[in-house]
Amino acid sequence: MKLLKEKMVKEGKVLSETILKVDSFLNHQIDPLLMKEVGDEFANRYADQIITKILTIESSGIAPATFLGLTIGAPVVFARKRKSLTLTDHLYSSKVHSFTKNETNEISVSKNFLSADDNIIIIDDFLANGEAVKGLLDIAQQAGAQVVGVGIVIEKGFQEGGKLLREKGLRIESLARIKSLAGGKIEFFEDGEY
């Protein structure tokens, strides 16, 4: 997605060969015009699927998931990383390790919001090692829901997550795939290149 890649090059900050900071438009401050384009692009890529629910994880997946939901008219369900007084039982739960934060969280979704009748698309901001997607897949499986695919805003193609998930037959649509962050520069895979 050209607009996203331009934004990444202009505003993204390469912190190391494995870390890209995009907090000015994606995961701290949100650029709503870009997120609208992201939602529209996911809708176009999955136009061949019937989607009844969009599943994401708090907090950085919420913006792209919400704009997709607005475009296709489907509810957004997000897995919470922390339990609250109102979210204590009747839950689907899974453990997820965050590469960036180097911590493991138990994520949870109320059983009231996912069922075997749902066709789900999973949306997230980044795909690196695939842990968040695996946790969300686990929750969807517990619900008996059908996962039609995964939409990723930025994939770190130099890490194993995307490859491992694709090898399992999962459809993954990434809007920008990073080949390398070496030398403080973002290098992208070309469309169709893996």
Digit-coded pLDDT (tens) for 109-126? 999 999 999 999 999 999
From the number of C-beta atoms within 10 Å of its C-beta (0-12, 13-18, 19+), residue 113 rates as middle
The CATH number of the domain covering residues in 39-177 = 3.40.50.2020
Digit-coded pLDDT (tens) for 64-80? 999 999 999 999 999 99
Q: What angle do CA 8, 11, 17 make, to 5 degrees?
A: 65
Residue 21 confidence (pLDDT) above 70: yes
pLDDT band at 90; cut points 50, 70, 90: confident
Q: What pLDDT, on the 0 to 100 scale, is given for residue 101?
A: 75
Q: What is the DSSP string of 65-85?
A: HHHHHHHHT--EEEEBSS--T
Q: What pLDDT, on the 0 to 100 scale, is given for residue 181?
A: 97
Two structure tokens written together for 103: 């911590």
Tell me the one-letter amino acid at 178: I
For residues 160 and 157, give the distance between their C-alpha atoms in angstroms, rounded to a whole number: 7
On average, the pLDDT of the chain sits at 93
Digit-coded pLDDT (tens) for 135-177? 999 999 999 999 999 999 999 999 999 999 999 999 999 999 9
Residue 85 confidence (pLDDT) above 60: no
Find the distance separating the first CA and the last CA of the chain, reported in whole Å.
16
Residue 95 confidence (pLDDT) above 80: yes
117-136 burial by CB neighbour count: b if 16+ within 10 A, else e? ebebbbbbbbbbbbbbbbbb
Nearest to 36 by CA among 63, 60, 62, 5: 63
Q: What pLDDT, on the 0 to 100 scale, is given for residue 192?
A: 67
Residue 81 confidence (pLDDT) above 90: no
